[in-house]
């Protein structure tokens, strides 16, 4: 797959670059460039990211960072079985637990919420950092909802991190998930409060809390393109009205002409002769 000229491979994280040092220099550079493309496209063009991850995987399948990138690319394309296999491979190679929450979420994607809940109670969770533990809590709550256990999902999300006054990278998503669970349980007043709190913490637009609030408040947003379409429609209708009016005027003129011709004859020379009543 083509690599843009502005991609050098130096953009990757230093830890990943260190992993790639086990490869020949030219190969390491090629792998790095493909990993950069995966990171660049994974949000806006998941299919494109998946394609680049496959190239990197073909070049260096024994590098943990490559297997991890391939896992996230597959995950972004909802290829949960493939993603889980790649995450497991990356974990075996690195020995870390960072991927535990996303592995559990793959189990949810495969229709196995009970397995995700088992993973949420595993010893590996205690080895996660704070961000990882919050992510695991989100996955567990999602699994509870998959099973129709709304009250349990709400309780799962109730944590010190939810009530903390300081804003962390996970705060907006945690509050949003809590608000969404409350709304699903029919607790609309509390849900609105927490959607508002999620919006306050959402500094990078990672949630659609503002849209959810507007929806709850009955506010409709009209897209600018829709407005243009409405204006065009009005212009079309106006143009059609003008044409119709012109046609009507033409018809009336023709009828008037026919009426005059009823009173007008032509002599043998073809000149117009007006019939006059004799005195």
Q: Mind listing the pLDDT tens digit for each residue in 76-95?
A: 999 999 999 999 999 999 99
Higher pLDDT, 60 or 270: 60
Residue 239 has pLDDT above 60, yes or no: no
> 159-163, 181-185, 216-220: which has the highest mean pLDDT?
181-185
Q: Please state, for a pLDDT cut of 90, what percent of the chain lies above it.
A: 71
How much is the pTM?
0.75
Task: Give me the pLDDT at residue 163, please.
Answer: 87
pLDDT tens per residue across span 44-57: 999 999 999 999 99
User: How far apart, in whole angstroms, are the C-alpha atoms of residue 65 and residue 80?
Assistant: 18
CB 182 within 8 A of CB 151: no
Average pLDDT, the chain: 85
Q: What local confidence, expressed as pLDDT, does residue 222 receive?
A: 59
- pLDDT surpasses 60 at 223: no
Q: Which residues of 40-72 are buried (b: 16+ CB within 10 A; e: fewer)?
A: bbbeeebebbbbbbbbbbeebeebbbbbbbbbb
- Spatial separation of the C-alpha atoms in residues 118 and 140, rounded to whole Å: 9
pLDDT at position 111: 97
Cβ partners under 8 Å of residue 145, min gap 6:
153, 181, 184
According to DSSP, residue 156 is labeled H
Q: What is the pLDDT at residue 204?
A: 87
Please give the residue that has the higher pLDDT: either 264 or 18.
18
The rounded distance, in Å, linking the Cα atoms of 191 and 186 is: 9
Bridge partners for 272 per DSSP: 266
Beta bridge partners of 265: 273
Looking at residues 169-188, what average pLDDT do you find?
96
| 154: pLDDT strictly greater than 90 | yes
Helices (H) and strands (E) in the chain, counts: 14, 2
């Amino acid at each position: 797959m083509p690599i843009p000229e502005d991609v050098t491979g130096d953009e990757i994280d230093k830890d990943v670059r260190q992993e790639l040092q086990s490869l020949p220099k030219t190969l390491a550079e090629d792998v790095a460039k493909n990993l950069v493309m995966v990171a660049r496209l994974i949000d806006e063009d998941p299919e494109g990211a998946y394609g680049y991850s496959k190239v990197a995987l073909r070049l260096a399948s024994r590098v943990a960072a490559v297997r991890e990138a391939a896992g996230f690319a597959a995950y972004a394309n909802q290829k949960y079985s493939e993603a889980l296999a790649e995450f497991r491979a990356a974990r075996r190679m690195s020995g870390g637990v960072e991927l535990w929450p996303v592995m559990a979420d793959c189990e949810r994607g495969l229709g196995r919420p009970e397995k995700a809940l088992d993973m949420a109670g595993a010893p590996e969770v205690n080895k996660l950092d704070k961000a990882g533990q919050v992510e695991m809590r989100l996955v567990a709550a999602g699994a509870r909802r998959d099973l129709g256990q709304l009250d349990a999902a709400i309780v799962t999300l109730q944590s010190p991190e939810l009530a903390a006054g300081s804003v962390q990278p996970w705060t907006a998503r945690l509050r949003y998930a809590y608000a969404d669970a409350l709304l699903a349980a029919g607790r609309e007043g509390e849900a609105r409060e927490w959607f508002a709190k999620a919006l306050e913490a959402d500094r990078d637009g990672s949630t659609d809390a503002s849209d959810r609030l507007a929806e709850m408040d009955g506010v409709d947003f009209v897209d600018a393109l829709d407005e243009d379409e409405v204006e065009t429609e009005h212009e079309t209708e106006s143009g059609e009205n003008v044409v119709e009016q012109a046609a009507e005027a033409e018809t009336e003129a023709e009828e008037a002409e026919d009426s005059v011709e009823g009173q007008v004859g032509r002599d043998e020379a073809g000149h117009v002769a007006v019939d006059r009543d004799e005195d």
